[in-house]
Chains A and B, each alone.
Chain A
Amino acid sequence: MERYDLIVIGAGPSGLSAGIEAAKAGASVIIFDENEKPGGQLFKQIHKFFGSKEHRAKVRGFNIGYQLLKEADEAGAKVELSATVLGIYQDKEVVVKIKEGIKHFKADSIIVATGAAENMVPFEGWTLPGVIGAGAAQTMLNLHGILPGKKVLMLGSGNVGLVVSYQLKQCGCDVVALVDAAPRIGGYGVHAAKISRMGIPFYLPYTIKKVEGTDHVTGVTIAKLDPSFKFIEGTEMHFDVDTVCVAVGLSPMSQLLKMAGCKMDDNPRKGGQVPVIDEHGQTSIPGIFAAGDVSGIEEASSAMIEGRQAGIYAANYLGYIEDKLMKEKEDELDKALDGLRQGMFAPSNRGKKIEKTEEGIDISNNLLAKGFVADEEIERFPGVVHKLGIHPVMECTQNIPCNPCQDACPKKCIKIGSKITSLPAVDESVDCIGCGMCVASCPGQAIFLVNENVGEGMAEITLPYEIYPLPEVGEKGIALSRAGHPVCIAEVVKVRTGLAFDKTAVLTIRVPKEFAMKARFYKKEKLAKSV
């Protein structure tokens, strides 16, 4: 039997963060993870994270994973991989399957950070090969470099469905449609807009009627739902696809806590069965804590902060941190957590329809229903201005906790202010130098630089672009609108890829000036012809 001060179960964002804090305080820590690689979901998150600069916004998820591993190593927290915890027994004895054997461990405190599992929804044909979770598709793409299929239909418009659709498209898959049974898109509008302008249509409120095929998926039929979630006859649409991705939410993997005897609560708002925890993340069993998705579904940024808090609480429980210092650290992290839980998508707003932004501006209904802000709606947002010369146009229209753009601009053209959820506004008194830092830094890819008149009746639009191989300067392709419709011919005049852009290329296209506020994406002509 090996003994530690603290056993952490799960080496994802929250478990690693917890282990780091407790080890830094002096506790002996071991972190178990059943996977071959640490990081939980972080290593398949190739997109840039939202949030504040202090909490790693605009850093790609997998890079956050590397940072955490390094930190854990420096703090002296041991990470044991391919180590499946089979049970938590009396007096905090933990039984672990490590490779081909069983080992026993004991600790004075345990932090359970086991995360969550994907939900499924049954429909005719759901067990056919080719129907997979969106998370599974992401694992195949980003960890193993395998395409799950060539033509994909995505069910679910939460952030997972939106982000994975974008990544499928980046890998060259044809995403034929994004379908959700809810009447409104569930995830961030900027994520939806990003895939809309690539030409992926949204169908809401629709759901899958049946998946066709004998030994694998060959097609799918969707149909529209009435307000009582019944199919409306005659609205069926068929798509030839080889893959159906399902992104219909997550459920906490809380079985270990239940087995340990912790008091549980079945809470649909938290995604399912979660442990009852106090304000310090402690369960009904003293010394056993829970952090991250296992205590209620949120996202990775808040899981990391919750993890740090749990690590600090456990260190205090173990006697390594005094109450006063714990309180100081706790207050600081509470503030950060509060910041992330603000805005339109705050946990307290789940399921509510928000009509106006915090600034009192009407929310774009088109964005919620179709995935893009309509031409007649876009002008009312503070990031959209018109002036002579090059200037940023920020199509950021929902209050989300994110502010990297404010610090990205070396000229301080962009203002969000102290409230992290405020919509970015343009300071018109300062001249934009067109450096493109804001364009590349926006995790929602919602910032464009527009020069509405470069002479000869032309305008230039600078946009974020992440589809490789990159276009070449001088080539001509199609400019697409926010809805993903072709609007005009566009010539690529600049392609910038700096280290600071972190693999988001900053592309400048030239279009007739009447399309300056319409063209928002570039499609290579060869691809355009093949469709």
Chain B
Amino acid sequence: MHELVDRSLKDEEFEEREDDDMLICRCEEITKGEIRRAVHDGMYTMAEIRRYLRCTMGLCQGQTCAKLVKGIVARELGVSPDKLEPATSRSPMRPTEMYVIANEEN
């Protein structure tokens, strides 16, 4: 079990930065600024960030961006990325069309 996140970590104001409009999650089109702002909005875990922004939940299922998002959130919180628990893994492990799921054999 990871340590509980200290909810008092982030009390300073959100500050805009030059690279805030850089896309990080390309499937869901979420920018670096949106991720940083989400931390200031109180999203401190990968699960919260995911639910709040949908980043890492698109076609690639975070294969490209999960590590990047985690890095940005960790830096914003001022903690090492390995202190943040990765988001939950769920089935289906790869994006799957509904008609395929309907073709289920027992």
Return the contact of B106 from the options A1, A122, A259 (Cβ within 8 A): A1
Which residues of A are found within 8 Å of B86, using beta-carbon distances? 258, 264, 266, 273
Whole-angstrom CA separation of A86 from B100 in the bound complex: 12
B5-13, B21-29, B36-44: which one contacts chain A?
B21-29
Give the contact-size bracket for chain B.
20 to 34
Are B82 and A97 within 8 A (Cβ)? no
Query: At the interface, yes or no: A127 with Cβ under 8 Å from chain B?
Result: yes
A101-109, A218-226, A393-401: which one contacts chain B?
A101-109
- Within A243-287, the residues touching B (CB, 8 Å) are 251, 253, 255-256, 258-259, 264, 266-268, 272-273
Are B89 and A122 within 8 A (Cβ)? no
Query: At the interface, yes or no: B93 with Cβ under 8 Å from chain A?
Result: yes
Which residues of B are found within 8 Å of A97, using beta-carbon distances? 92, 94, 96, 100
* Nearest Cβ on chain A to B20's Cβ, whole angstroms: 12
A86 with B89, Cβ < 8 A, contacts A97-B100, A101-B104, A119-B67 known:
no
Query: At the interface, yes or no: B105 with Cβ under 8 Å from chain A?
Result: yes
Are B63 and A117 within 8 A (Cβ)? yes
Q: How many A-B residue pairs have CB under 8 A?
A: 78
Query: At the interface, yes or no: A124 with Cβ under 8 Å from chain B?
Result: yes
Are B89 and A255 within 8 A (Cβ)? yes
- Within B55-106, the residues touching A (CB, 8 Å) are 63-65, 67-68, 81-82, 85-86, 88-94, 96, 99-101, 103-106
Return the contact of A120 from the options B64, B91, B101 (Cβ within 8 A): B64
Are B93 and A87 within 8 A (Cβ)? yes
Whole-angstrom CA separation of A317 from B25 in the bound complex: 42
Are B105 and A87 within 8 A (Cβ)? no
Are A101 and B103 within 8 A (Cβ)? yes
Count how many chain A residues have C-beta atoms less than 8 Å from C-beta atoms of the other chain.
34
Are A259 and B93 within 8 A (Cβ)? yes
Query: At the interface, yes or no: A85 with Cβ under 8 Å from chain B?
Result: yes
Are B91 and A122 within 8 A (Cβ)? no
Q: A102: nearest residue on chain B (CB-CB)? A: B104
Which residues of B are found within 8 Å of A267, using beta-carbon distances? 82
Are A101 and B67 within 8 A (Cβ)? no
Whole-angstrom CA separation of A258 from B62 in the bound complex: 15
Q: B24: nearest residue on chain A (CB-CB)? A: A122
Which residues of B are found within 8 Å of A264, using beta-carbon distances? 86
Are A127 and B23 within 8 A (Cβ)? yes
Query: At the interface, yes or no: A182 with Cβ under 8 Å from chain B?
Result: no
Query: At the interface, yes or no: A100 with Cβ under 8 Å from chain B?
Result: yes
* Nearest Cβ on chain A to B97's Cβ, whole angstroms: 8
Which residues of B are found within 8 Å of A258, using beta-carbon distances? 86, 88-89
6 tightest Cβ-Cβ pairs between the two chains A and B = A87-B91, A101-B103, A255-B89, A86-B92, A259-B89, A266-B82
Task: Name A residues whose Cβ lies closer than 8 Å to a Cβ of B.
Answer: 1, 34, 84-87, 89, 95, 97, 100-104, 117, 119-122, 124, 126-127, 251, 253, 255-256, 258-259, 264, 266-268, 272-273
Identify 16 new A-B residue pairs, CB closer than 8 A, beyond the known A102-B103, A120-B65. Answer: A86-B92, A86-B94, A87-B91, A87-B92, A87-B93, A100-B103, A101-B105, A120-B64, A122-B68, A124-B19, A127-B23, A256-B89, A258-B86, A266-B81, A267-B82, A272-B67
